[in-house]
Each structure stands twice: as structure tokens, then as C-alpha cells.
């Protein structure tokens, strides 16, 4: 199949404004009398709030509003489990929790006002690690989890917020069938999304009381949900507009500062800009969870995996913003492999640490670092090549995941074969302190259950509008947010393809709760897959309206009309065609009126076939698979790891915009490198010790190796043109690939992230002494 617009990489719609510095981010909006907001954070990890006295702050000249919990309804908000107050009441649960906020004429005055607010606390015993939180008699971070609203049932107990277990076959008896068994434990660290733009919002209240907020969020409709439930505002009085988003990576999908900005604007009667500092980013926003895990895997002599048993525990901090049941994490814990006997438990535990939420492939990097490290150790124990071991057990069409879902169109095998070829070509004889490592990943996919209801909340409704102007140009209206990954450009390519018009003639109105249709969130590596279909339907709807007019005018049945090059024409006779422009103009005078295509509810229209095909079973379409290979050099004197070469092969189903996909993979690898080697938010008794980019080290240009990226295209069943998602998977295999390469280079196994020079050095020392570090 050849396409006119798909498979090319036209310049993205949003980048010209970004290149000239005119794109407006959340703090780039100016208004007369604009006030600056600042937040007062808790210095206590766990304490009862006895009294808050704001009187001195209110009297400071230039201060226009001070808010505390007394200005909010005592309602909890949150994306999945509603556990978080907008401003703390009763008690605080972590160092950094917002307690009060002020709006003043300028930032200096606002900061001075914060110092004048007096809060009396009565400290409470606190828990700072998974072990402390799960100890018997541990102090409770949340006293009354049973009262919290949530979208799916919680299995809570003590500080355990939720647990999930997946069981398949009979693990207990399966060990006897195994010739090799390997058992190990792992630890991963807290990391921040590291977007360069902190959270920013500007809120304005008009004379009628209607609030408009320009925010750094990528999910304006989810923010609106939180404002409705948290502030009690009706939707008619809230308009959330996603401004340009300076990086998201999962961290900007929930209401964090917007409710405070709005309360300050309401109370002062003036526009308010509220932007977090970098330190506030590291101490008061949702970050990726630390985990501890144990894993045991058994295999037959020929490499067939037989059984997996494991447990992974996520420290969710004082508040949890993650979606979904823990079965999801348990499922990822055994990777893209066919294993008949499975018993995996995943737990999420509250502590008095900073709150935890989504970060690029939420829960997956922590779950797949263990499995991919583990397979490497198992392969070595068995004398097998790690790629061959994976190939032997890689998921194939029709295989079942541990939860019983049937896998459609997996690409794991193809990525492994490409990696094998690459290594065969590039991996030359051994050099001292140099080694290669390989790791794969399994992510996402769209699940459909027996009743046809999607199992992941992410995949709920979606709608789009396609307007055709009288000159044949097109406007796409969608709730999707352009957070830098290119969604609005990819969706525009689809519109151009369906209508046969130039990509340049498509413009986009997006991410505005008043102006665009509802869209849950631009995330989950599902925008192209899910919204791409919705947009395709909307464009097809517009096209059929144009075709009807063309059919009448040319007296040719619709079934014999073709679309392309800006025209609708009888099959094979482009020269007889009528231009889209003339048809759209004619539409103004036609019975149907102006051309307005709509597409909605992808589920009903596209996935019904999938549900029927499932015949009562659970199916997973478009799983996202990849394999990475990396060559490292380890300095035996310092432990420093240098990345020499990096290969990544991803199955993308169908590459609608190859350059964009490469960009996602390159950026994902960079983020993975930081996770693997340098990044860690260090907390000591709940206090964040390195809340800045000096001590929290993001990869720079100097850390990037040469990248070799290959795409494979195993089409998905129901994604637009066979496309699958790509945003999240590239980060997942990086850390285990590097851990495996370090072992290959110097024979030491790192089971804890990040693999800093110090950790590698200590492991080398321990190996020389014959002890474990």
C-alpha cells in the first residue's frame, strides 16, 4: 500500500513557533495586574496541623490573597484513588506538601508573605521505607483508606494501598520440572520526569465568575475533572487550556497547581500566575516510585522457561497518582515471554516520602529491570546465548499472557532477530573491560474484555471533528495535547491522507475543554493508536459528505469515486475530478450544509470486530515490543561506565512519521541512560537531599553514544493503518541492557539502580575480595 502523506516525515505543526520563541507556555501569558502565586510547603514528614495563622501575611502590603484548606472544600482529589487534599487539612504526610499559598504583586512580596505564615505542627511517627511501612504496628500514613473514592476496587491493609496477584498453572509443582533455577532480588530508585519546564499555570476569572486556566498540563480534561470534584465548580464555569507543554513524560497529566492558581485568582479577583521552582518540582510533584523486588525463574535444559515466581513492591510515597490495578505491574514483571507457570504479586505501599505518579511507562522500568537482568543470569548459568534464550520463549501470536489475555501481532521475535543480526555483524572479539548487553521490553497494547469493555481507563471514549473550508483547507479539532511527541502532526497526516489534501493545508485546534471534544489524556503510548482511529473516522465522515456532493454533480456512484491530489474523481479519471475546494463551497448551498465530519467512540465502530473475534476471551492488540543492545566500557579503577554503542530495534506496527518515531526512541534511550547510570532523587527521612539539576544529573550531550535505530513493522489489527504506540517503550530496556553489558565487561552484577561509578567500583572491589557488596 502506498500513501501520499503517511510514512513521510513532514515538519511538525507546532515547531515553527517554538523555533522563533513565540510558542506560549504556561507562564508566558501576561495580563494587567497579574499577580504571582507562591506555595508554602510542609517542613514536616508526618504531623498534625494544630493551627495556621495567616494574619501577618495578609497584612503585608502587596499581598492580595492567602489561601489555606479553609478556602477549599474538604474533598480529596486524585487521578485514580482520590487521596490528596488540594491544601493539607488535619495533617501533613510528606516534606513538601502544600499547606498554604499566596498571591502578591510580585514574587519577592509573595515569598516574604510565605515567611509570615505561621503553622503549628505536632509531629507524628513516620515511615520512610517499604520495610518500615510494612512492619507490624507501623504508623499509618492514611488512617481511613476505606473512605477514599477510586475507580477500581482497592485491596488495602495497613499502609498497603493495593495489591494484585496473577497466578497461572501450578508454580509450586513446576520447580521439579526445571533443570535450572535462578533467584535474585533487585532495587530501583526514585526519579523525576526531568522535563525542563516546571509546572506552570495562569488563571483568570472573568466578570461572570468563569475561570480560564492556561496550564502546562497535557490532560486538560482530567484537570477539569479534578476542579469539578475538588473545588465544586460546575463545568460551565471552568475552561482549561493546555498551553505549550515543556515536556510531560507522564508528570503533567494530573491537577497539581491549577486548583491553587484558581483559588488565588478567585480570592484576589485578579489574574494569577503560579509556577513551581525546580526545587518544588523535586519535592512536591509526583515522581517514579522506588521498588524492591524478588524474582525466581526456572527453565529446562533446552532453554524453555517453565515457571516464574516473584514479588515487587512500589513505594508510592504519601500520595498515589497512578492508574490501575496492580495486576498490570505483575504482568509486566515477566516480560514478553511465554511462561506456563506464574505466581506474581505486586504491592503499592504508602510512606511519608514525596508523592509518586506517572513517568514514561509507569511501573514498567522497575518491573522489567529485574526480569531482563534475570534472564541474562539464567542464560549464563545455562551456557546459552541471552538472545537465543529470549527467542526461544518470545511471545507469538495467540500466546497467552499470565492473566489469560491472548496476544495479537507481537513483534518481540522480529526485534530479537534483528538484534541477533546486528550483534553478529558488530560484535567483534573481546577487549578487556568491554562488553555487550541485551534487553527486551513488553509494554502496553490495548486490552478488550469479554463484555467488550476496555480494561484500561485510558482507552475510553474519544471524539474528533474535521471541518473542510471553502478553499479545500481543513481544520482538525481534537482534545489531544501537543506535549512534544508530535501527536497533532501525526493526526494531521491521517486527515490529509483520508481527504487527499496536502498536509500543509491541515490546521489543528486542540486541548481546550470548551473548544474541543473530550480526550482523557495524551499518553499511554496510545494517542496514535486510539485517537488516530477516531480522527480517521472523522475525516472519512467528511470525505463521504464530499463524495455525496461529487456523486450528484458528476452522476457517478459514490462507490466509483476516488480521492486524491485535492480532488474527488471517477476511478482512473483524475482530469474529470472536482476539487475539494469546489465541493466544500458547493456544500454551503447543499441540503447538508457545510462539511463537518465527526468521529467518535472508536470502541463501538472499530473494535466491535475485535470483541467479536475474542469470543468471550480477553485480547491484547498492538503490544509494543523492542530489543536493545549496548556496548559498554568499564573503567576498573573508577567504576565509570562509558556507553560506546547503542542499538535499538522497535516494532512500531506502521511508521506514520518515521522521523518523529526516531525522535521518541532517541529521547527514550537518553531518559533510560539517566535512569540506569546517574539519576536518583535521594531522600533521607523524607527530606529530599538533591532537589536541583546540579546534584540530580540528567544526561547531557556528552553522555550520548552513537545510536543505531531500526524499526520493524508488524501491523496491529486495529490501529490506524496498522500503527502501534512508541512513546514509552524506548526507556524500558536501557537499564537492564547496560547491567547485562557491565556483567559481560567486568563480571560484576548490579542489582540496584542507578549503576553509578561508586556502585560499580564497590561491586568490583567486592568481587576482587570474593564478597558481595
Partner 1 sequence: MKLDIDLTVNGQDYRLQVEGHRTLLDILRDYLGLMGAKRGCEHGNCGACTVLVDGQPVNSCLILAGDVQGKTVTTVEGLAQGGQLHPLQRAFIEHGAIQCGYCTPGMLLSAQALLAENPRPTPEEVKVALAGNLCRCTGYTKIIQAVLSVTGRSQP
CB of residue 153 vs partner 1: minimum separation in angstroms?
36
Interacting span for partner 1 (CB under 8 A) from 17-25, 340-348, 399-407, 531-539: 17-25
Contact 324, 214 (CB under 8 A): no
CB of residue 402 vs partner 1: minimum separation in angstroms?
33
CB of residue 359 vs partner 1: minimum separation in angstroms?
11
CB of residue 485 vs partner 1: minimum separation in angstroms?
7
Q: Which of 94, 221, 249, 761 binds partner 1 (CB under 8 A)?
A: 249
CA atoms within a 13 Å half-sphere pointing along the CA-CB vector of 444:
30
Give the nearer residue to partner 1 in terms of CB position, either 107 or 573: 107
The Cα 126–Cα 360 span in angstroms is 29
The Cα 278–Cα 258 span in angstroms is 17
Q: Which of 451, 615, 694, 772 binds partner 1 (CB under 8 A)?
A: 694
The Cα 768–Cα 561 span in angstroms is 75
DSSP class of residue 157 equals B
Nine cell digits for residue 395: 511471545
Q: Is 21 in the site for partner 1 (CB under 8 A)?
A: yes
Which residues inside 624-663 make contact with partner 1, applying CB under 8 A?
659-660, 662-663
Give the nearer residue to partner 1 in terms of CB position, either 2 or 701: 701
- List, in sequence order, the alpha helices (H) in 253-335: 258-268, 278-284, 327-332
For the beta carbon of residue 246, count every other beta carbon within 10 angstroms. Answer: 20
Size of the site for partner 1 (CB under 8 A): 58
Interacting span for partner 1 (CB under 8 A) from 26-34, 550-558, 630-638, 757-765: 26-34
The Cα 682–Cα 688 span in angstroms is 6
DSSP class of residue 525 equals T
Distances (CA, A) of 176 to 171, 298, 299, 307: 10, 9, 10, 10
**Residues with Cβ within 8 Å of residue 189, at least 6 apart in sequence:** 290, 679, 680, 681, 752, 753, 754
Q: Which of 67, 92, 323, 485 binds partner 1 (CB under 8 A)?
A: 485
Which residues inside 174-203 make contact with partner 1, applying CB under 8 A?
193-198
Residue where the block lists cell 515569598: 111
CA nearest 725: which of 475, 499, 458?
458
Q: Is 18 in the site for partner 1 (CB under 8 A)?
A: yes
Interacting span for partner 1 (CB under 8 A) from 9-17, 129-137, 375-383, 590-598: 9-17
Residue where the block lists cell 568491554: 434
Q: Which of 5, 6, 13, 14 binds partner 1 (CB under 8 A)?
A: 14
Q: Is 115 in the site for partner 1 (CB under 8 A)?
A: no
Helix (H, G, I), strand (E, B) or coil at 278: helix
Residue 313: alpha-carbon gap to chain centroid? 20
Helix (H, G, I), strand (E, B) or coil at 291: strand
Nine cell digits for residue 27: 507562564
DSSP class of residue 572 equals T
Give the nearer residue to partner 1 in terms of CB position, either 500 or 667: 667
Site string for partner 1, 697-736 (x = CB under 8 A): -xxxxx-x-xx-----------------------------
CB of residue 701 vs partner 1: minimum separation in angstroms?
4
The Cα 3–Cα 534 span in angstroms is 19
Q: Which of 19, 50, 135, 588 binds partner 1 (CB under 8 A)?
A: 19
Give the nearer residue to partner 1 in terms of CB position, either 325 or 486: 486
Name residue 101's beta-bridge partners: 39, 67
CA atoms within a 13 Å half-sphere pointing along the CA-CB vector of 418:
23
Q: Is 671 in the site for partner 1 (CB under 8 A)?
A: yes
Q: Is 682 in the site for partner 1 (CB under 8 A)?
A: no
Give the nearer residue to partner 1 in terms of CB position, either 247 or 502: 247
Q: Which of 112, 666, 713, 752 binds partner 1 (CB under 8 A)?
A: 666
The Cα 362–Cα 364 span in angstroms is 6
Q: Is 27 in the site for partner 1 (CB under 8 A)?
A: yes
Q: Which of 609, 692, 747, 765 binds partner 1 (CB under 8 A)?
A: 692
Contact 764, 636 (CB under 8 A): yes
CB of residue 138 vs partner 1: minimum separation in angstroms?
36
CB of residue 704 vs partner 1: minimum separation in angstroms?
5
Q: Is 667 in the site for partner 1 (CB under 8 A)?
A: yes
Q: Is 286 in the site for partner 1 (CB under 8 A)?
A: no
Binding site for partner 1 (CB under 8 A): 9, 11-12, 14-25, 27-28, 30, 193-198, 244-249, 275, 277-278, 483-486, 659-660, 662-663, 666-671, 692-694, 698-702, 704, 706-707
Amino acid at each position: 500500500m502506498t500513501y501520499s502523506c503517511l510514512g513521510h516525515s513532514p515538519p511538525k505543526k507546532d515547531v515553527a513557533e517554538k523555533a522563533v520563541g513565540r510558542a506560549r507556555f504556561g507562564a508566558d501569558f501576561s495580563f494587567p495586574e497579574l499577580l504571582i502565586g507562591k506555595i508554602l510547603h510542609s517542613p514536616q514528614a508526618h504531623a498534625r496541623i494544630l493551627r495556621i495563622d495567616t494574619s501577618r501575611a495578609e497584612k503585608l502590603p502587596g499581598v492580595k490573597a492567602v489561601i489555606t484548606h479553609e478556602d477549599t472544600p474538604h474533598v480529596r482529589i486524585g487521578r485514580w484513588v482520590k487521596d490528596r487534599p488540594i491544601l493539607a487539612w488535619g495533617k501533613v504526610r510528606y516534606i513538601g506538601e502544600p499547606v498554604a499559598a499566596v498571591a502578591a504583586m510580585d514574587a519577592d512580596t509573595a515569598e516574604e508573605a510565605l515567611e509570615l505564615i505561621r503553622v503549628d505542627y505536632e509531629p507524628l511517627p513516620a515511615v520512610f521505607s517499604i520495610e518500615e511501612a510494612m512492619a507490624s504496628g507501623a504508623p499509618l500514613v492514611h488512617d481511613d483508606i476505606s473512605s477514599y473514592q477510586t475507580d477500581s476496587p482497592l485491596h488495602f491493609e495497613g499502609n498497603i494501598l493495593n495489591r494484585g496477584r496473577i497466578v497461572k498453572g501450578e508454580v509450586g509443582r513446576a520447580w521439579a520440572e526445571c533443570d535450572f533455577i535462578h533467584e535474585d532480588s533487585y532495587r530501583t530508585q526514585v526519579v523525576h520526569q526531568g522535563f525542563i519546564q516546571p509546572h506552570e499555570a495562569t488563571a483568570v476569572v472573568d466578570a461572570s465568575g468563569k475561570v480560564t486556566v492556561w496550564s502546562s498540563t497535557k490532560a486538560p480534561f482530567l484537570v477539569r475533572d479534578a476542579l469539578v470534584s475538588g473545588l465544586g465548580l460546575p463545568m460551565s464555569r471552568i475552561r482549561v487550556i493546555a498551553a505549550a507543554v515543556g515536556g510531560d513524560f507522564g508528570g503533567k497529566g494530573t491537577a497539581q497547581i491549577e486548583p491553587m492558581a484558581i483559588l488565588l485568582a478567585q480570592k484576589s479577583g485578579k489574574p494569577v500566575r503560579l509556577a513551581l521552582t525546580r526545587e518544588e518540582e523535586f519535592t512536591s510533584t509526583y515522581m517514579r516510585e522506588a521498588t524492591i523486588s524478588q524474582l525466581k525463574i526456572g527453565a529446562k535444559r533446552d532453554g524453555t522457561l517453565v515457571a516464574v515466581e516473584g514479588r515487587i513492591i512500589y513505594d508510592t510515597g504519601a500520595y498515589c497518582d497512578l492508574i490501575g490495578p496492580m495486576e498490570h505491574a505483575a504482568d509486566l514483571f515477566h516480560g514478553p515471554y511465554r511462561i506456563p507457570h506464574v505466581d506474581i504479586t505486586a504491592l503499592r505501599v504508602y510512606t511519608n516520602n514525596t508523592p509518586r505518579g506517572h513517568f514514561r511507562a509507569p511501573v514498567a522500568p522497575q518491573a522489567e529491570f529485574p526480569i531482563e537482568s534475570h534472564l541474562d543470569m539464567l542464560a549464563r548459568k545455562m551456557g546459552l546465548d541471552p538472545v537465543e534464550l529470549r527467542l526461544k520463549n518470545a511471545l507469538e501470536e495467540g500466546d497467552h499472557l499470565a492473566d489469560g489475555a491472548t496476544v495479537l501481532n507481537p513483534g518481540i521475535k522480529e526485534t530479537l532477530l534483528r538484534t541477533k543480526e546486528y550483534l553478529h555483524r558488530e560484535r567483534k572479539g573481546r577487549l578487556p573491560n568491554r562488553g555487550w548487553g541485551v534487553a527486551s521490553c513488553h509494554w502496553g497494547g490495548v486490552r478488550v474484555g469479554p463484555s467488550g469493555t476496555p480494561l484500561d481507563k485510558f482507552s475510553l471514549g474519544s471524539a474528533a471533528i474535521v471541518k473542510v473550508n471553502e478553499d479545500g483547507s481543513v481544520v482538525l479539532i481534537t482534545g489531544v495535547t501537543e506535549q512534544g511527541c508530535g501527536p497533532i502532526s501525526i493526526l494531521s497526516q491521517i486527515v490529509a491522507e483520508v481527504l487527499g489534501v496536502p498536509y500543509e493545508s491541515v490546521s489543528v485546534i486542540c486541548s481546550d475543554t470548551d473548544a474541543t471534544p473530550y480526550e482523557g489524556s495524551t499518553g499511554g503510548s496510545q494517542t496514535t493508536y486510539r485517537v488516530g482511529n477516531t480522527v480517521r473516522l472523522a475525516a472519512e465522515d467528511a470525505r463521504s459528505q464530499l463524495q455525496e456532493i461529487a456523486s450528484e454533480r458528476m452522476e457517478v456512484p459514490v462507490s466509483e469515486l476516488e480521492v486524491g491530489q485535492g480532488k474527488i474523481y471517477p476511478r482512473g479519471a483524475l482530469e474529470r475530478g472536482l476539487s475539494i475546494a469546489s465541493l466544500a463551497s458547493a456544500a454551503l448551498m447543499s441540503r447538508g450544509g457545510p462539511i463537518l465530519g465527526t468521529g467518535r467512540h472508536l470502541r463501538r465502530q472499530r473494535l466491535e470486530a475485535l470483541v467479536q473475534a475474542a469470543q468471550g476471551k480477553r485480547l491484547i492488540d498492538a503490544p509494543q515490543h523492542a530489543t536493545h543492545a549496548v556496548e559498554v566500557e568499564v573503567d576498573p579503577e573508577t567504576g565509570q561506565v562509558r556507553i560506546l554503542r547503542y542499538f535499538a530495534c522497535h516494532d512500531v506496527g506502521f511508521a506514520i512519521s518515521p522521523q518523529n518515531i526516531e525522535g521518541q526512541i532517541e529521547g527514550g534511550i537518553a531518559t533510560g541512560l539517566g535512569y540506569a547510570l546517574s539519576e536518583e532523587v535521594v531522600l533521607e527521612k523524607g527530606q529530599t537531599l538533591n532537589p536541583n539539576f546540579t546534584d540530580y544529573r540528567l544526561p547531557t550531550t556528552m553522555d550520548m553514544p552513537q545510536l543505531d535505530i531500526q524499526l520493524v513493522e508488524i501491523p496491529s489489527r486495529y490501529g490506524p493503518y496498522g500503527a502501534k504506540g512508541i512513546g514509552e517503550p524506548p526507556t524500558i530496556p536501557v537499564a537492564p541492557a547496560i547491567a547485562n553489558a557491565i556483567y559481560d565487561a567486568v563480571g560484576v552484577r548490579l542489582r540496584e539502580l542507578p549503576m553509578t561509578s561508586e556502585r560499580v567500583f564497590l561491586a568490583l572491589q567486592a568481587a576482587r575480595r570474593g564478597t558481595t557488596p
